[in-house]
Amino acid sequence: MTMDERETDNQCSYCERRFKRERHLALHLGLYHEESLTDTQAEAYRAAREAERHELRLFRLKALVTLVLLYFGLLMAFAAFA
């Protein structure tokens, strides 16, 4: 399979935009062509949206943990050296 064929796999059938990832195509379909979606496409959009939301939540949690660790790390360093 060539690069071109692989890219066409994630091409929008309504406006011919191409996406690197299948999930991005599913999100695009839901956002720009909502009224012409098939049941399968609507279901893929819901799944993709849910996956994005989950990833965002995970990212926020990691950022929070990093900040807390950094805060206590600095506090310990301050207590040890001050």
Looking at the Cβ atoms of 36 and 66, the one nearer to Zn ion is: 36
Binding site for Zn ion (CB under 5 A): 12, 14-15, 17
Q: At what angle do helices 22-32 and 39-81 cross, to 10 degrees?
A: 110
- 10 Å CB burial of residue 31 (0-12, 13-18, 19+) is exposed
- Give min distance, CB of 68 to Zn ion, in A: 42
Of the pair 37, 52, the CB lying nearest Zn ion is at 37
Least Å from the CB of residue 67 to Zn ion: 38
Closer Cβ to Zn ion, 12 or 37, answer by number = 12
Distance, in Å, from the CA atom of 9 to the CA atom of 23, rounded to the nearest integer, reads 12
